[in-house]
Amino acid sequence: MASFPKKVFLILTGFSFLYFFVSLGTIKSSIHYYLYPREGIYCYREDVPTIQDITEVSPPKGSSIFFHETSCNSFFNGKLFITPRQACAVESAALLNPRRMVYLLFASPAVLKNEGSESDRMLEAILTYPNVRIHHLNYEKYTKGTPLEDLYRSGEIETSYYAQSHASDVLRYLTLWKYGGIYLDLDVIVIKSLSNLPGNFAGSESEANVAAGILGFNSTGIGHNLAKTCVNDLKNHFNGKEWGFNGPGVITRLLKNICGADKAKDMLKKDCQGFHVFPPESFYAIPWWNWTMFIEEKSLKEVERLTKKSYMIHVWNKFSSKMKISLNSKVPYLMYANKYCPKVISQCDSYF
């Protein structure tokens, strides 16, 4: 009997150490975002003037295209801010899909001002397309009454090691659960109409893995049910320490379950309850480990060859975002941009 208190002590000590290390991780991430505020998402909760919120409108269900801008750059700039490459993604989608509404949603609160800057001009350029809409996305309002309300209220997304990326991961599945349609990353250029794509789909980025840079779910039926499964995965298993767990991890876990296959290459041959998995050449013809091909003039012919069957090019912003591209260069990325986002390119000052 004398050993019982010792067991209790050991158990309590174990829980204390576990709590300490969990708390330490939260403290470390909070300190990081305090030191590097532009990498955090605290601006989501700032009460400042902003453009009309997406919760005040009703996007057409099942047919719209959605982009999410989850940085706080607009808040820090005091007005809506967009980079040339982000604007190009939106223009290319609008240009090649004139019958679909294209929504660019800013999680950062801000107002639209045309003061002549490059960003101002590019926002004005994409708004010349009649099918483009730009709205604020108030994260608290957007998640209220959904399975992910408690996740946002808990602060777990804000203290995630990859706050902006994980905020985007959560939004893509929540948006597709709310409205259906197509989600696209902001580091793409659409090079073919998306009208022939099935209602429910994703693309493999290799023989092993499925990516989440482009996703499609119907707003009703099996598509809506599968989107709900993804949302519930995030509700129950959100992980702020692993970069890909909440994005590609969610769609991969779903497909492993409904396809009965562990590798992406095997999912291509399965019915997957009506969900279609595309081969890499459809959306990710250039794998992430070859991302430099997009910014090398010598790779132009090879990139053109590899993307002949592609609906878009995905340039892996995590690696390529800091590489400046002169408007006089002939690299593949700029060649596609000149063709599929001409209005944005015309407003660039010196670099794309």
pLDDT tens, per residue, the chain with 352 residues: 445 566 655 555 555 544 444 444 557 677 888 778 789 999 999 999 999 999 999 999 999 999 999 999 999 999 999 999 999 999 999 999 999 999 999 999 999 999 999 999 999 999 999 999 999 999 999 999 999 999 999 999 999 999 999 999 999 999 999 999 999 999 999 999 999 999 999 999 999 999 999 999 999 999 999 999 999 999 999 999 999 999 999 999 999 999 999 999 999 999 899 999 999 999 999 999 999 999 999 999 999 999 999 999 999 999 999 899 999 999 999 999 999 999 999 999 999 9
Output the pLDDT for position 22: 44
- Write the burial class of residue 67 (CB in 10 Å: 0-12 exposed, 13-18 middle, 19+ buried): buried
Query: What gap in Å lies between CA 56 and CA 282, rounded to an integer?
Result: 35
| Domain total of the chain | 2
Output the pLDDT for position 33: 87
Question: Is residue 255 located within the same domain as residue 117?
Answer: yes
Question: Is residue 247 located within the same domain as residue 318?
Answer: no
Question: Is residue 245 located within the same domain as residue 300?
Answer: no
Question: Is residue 278 located within the same domain as residue 294?
Answer: no
Evaluate whether residue 84 is within a structural domain: yes
Evaluate whether residue 9 is within a structural domain: no
- Domain finish residue from 283, 312, 328: 283
Tell me which residue range forms the domain holding 326: 288-347
Question: Is residue 157 located within the same domain as residue 89?
Answer: yes
User: How wide is the angle at C-alpha 227 spanned by C-alphas 176 and 69, nearest 5°?
Assistant: 35
Query: Which residues lie below 8 Å from residue 294, measured CB to CB, with a gap of 6+?
Result: 286, 303, 313, 315, 320, 331, 332, 333
Q: What confidence tens digit (pLDDT) does each residue in 232-251 have?
A: 999 999 999 999 999 999 99
> Any bridge partners for residue 134, and if so which?
104
| Structural element, H or E, at residue 290 | none
- Domain finish residue from 230, 252, 283: 283
Evaluate whether residue 165 is within a structural domain: yes
Is this prediction's pTM over 0.85? yes
Question: Is residue 68 located within the same domain as residue 139?
Answer: yes
Evaluate whether residue 270 is within a structural domain: yes
Question: Is residue 275 located within the same domain as residue 307?
Answer: no
Question: Is residue 197 located within the same domain as residue 298?
Answer: no
Start-to-end CA span in the chain (Å): 74
Question: Is residue 297 located within the same domain as residue 260?
Answer: no
Evaluate whether residue 210 is within a structural domain: yes
- Domain finish residue from 239, 267, 283: 283
Evaluate whether residue 322 is within a structural domain: yes
Q: What confidence tens digit (pLDDT) does each residue in 62-108 have?
A: 999 999 999 999 999 999 999 999 999 999 999 999 999 999 999 99
Evaluate whether residue 208 is within a structural domain: yes
Question: Is residue 266 located within the same domain as residue 303?
Answer: no
